[in-house]
A and B are shown apart, each in its own frame.
Chain A
């Protein structure tokens, strides 16, 4: 019963390409997040969204943008991919009542390699 779906498991892109990472959740959650995961650095927040068409920068937004046109979909965009953006990208969501109940629900991740 997959609830947070990331469209690609593995991606290989060239330097300078524009890259779209898609995330869809079927739990009617208001809040969605994009993290990148790197060894020894844990999960670092790139962008998050509390509502449709709303976005806020996380800790490492440089080189990324996001789009939230519909509640269930949160897209991460690499405007011009660079090799230092090679990483595992994880999408997560939680309900919007601003009180944690069950923590995040994560997608299965997209491993992006930029060559």
Chain B
């Protein structure tokens, strides 16, 4: 079946450093790749997304890159802050409106 692999499962960085989370997917028809941030006790929130006709997208300190040939995409957070601490999920679209999620990355930003 279609899979999304996400690494690392946990990531700890010092405030101000960069954080990178990587995902790979298996369905070559996937064309939409969102990233969600889930703070403790809260619902997942969409933070950035990218479509297959774009290689990179940036929104302030957050950027996402996509390599369709290699079937991988990454989330980059620069100048990390303690409020960036959360669980991050990647996802890839399949079969129209369905999505597959990665297992999540717990990011801890130490002040």
Contact = CB atoms under 8 A, between A and B. Distances in A.
Interface residues of A, number: 26
Contact of B101 (A31, A42, A50, A100): A42
A98 to B, nearest CB: 5
Contacts, number: 60
Interface stretch (A13-21, A70-78, A105-113): A105-113
Contacts of A109: 43
Contacts of A44: 101
B97 A108 contact: no
Contacts of B111: none
B98 interface: yes
A77 B88 CA distance: 28
Contact of B42 (A4, A45, A48, A108): A108
Nearest to B94: A45
